[in-house]
Amino acid sequence: MEGGQHPITSTAMFDDGVDLIATIRSNAKAGRIAFVGGEHYDETLPSIRLYDAAHAVANYLSCLFVENVSAFVFSENRWEVVAFYLGVRLFGGSVRFLDCTAPEGKRPD
């Protein structure tokens, strides 16, 4: 594909046509790093761990036999939030993030 563009697939999560899960999977196979720690640069997260965690969330949701999943995330700025987001989206659900540090007037209803 020209220009580094990826085809739209059933796991595509953005309108620009990027298949994020396929990209993470290819990075995992290549042994690439997904995240580097902000405070300590020697703390890293391999792409394979992110990929496995996202699939674990999706598989857990499928075991619950739920439909129309809508999740709210209230968490610190950590890599697990990304894995949770990807897992819920893989399952077909939607995710909304809550920022506990936002001023009262700026918080979503």
| Whole-model pTM over 0.85 | no
Provide the domain limits for residue 12: 2-106
Count of the separate structural domains present in the chain: 1
Residue 100 has pLDDT above 70, yes or no: no
- The full DSSP string for 41-107 is TT-EEEHHHHHHHHHHHHHHHHHTT--S-EEEE---S-HHHHHHHHHHHHHT-EEEE--TTS-GGGS
Q: How many residues does the chain have?
A: 109
CATH number of the domain that residue 102 is part of = 3.40.50.980
The token duo for 109 is: 């209803």
Q: CA 69 to CA 52: how far, in whole Å?
A: 20
- pLDDT tens digits for 22-79? 778 888 888 888 888 777 777 888 888 888 888 888 888 888 877 777 777 666 667 7
Highest mean pLDDT among 3-7, 64-68, 98-102: 64-68
Side-chain-side CA neighbours of 38 within 13 Å: the count stands at: 3
pLDDT recorded at residue 89: 80
- Structural Rg of the chain based on CA atoms: 16
Residue range 83-94, pLDDT digits in tens: 888 888 887 777
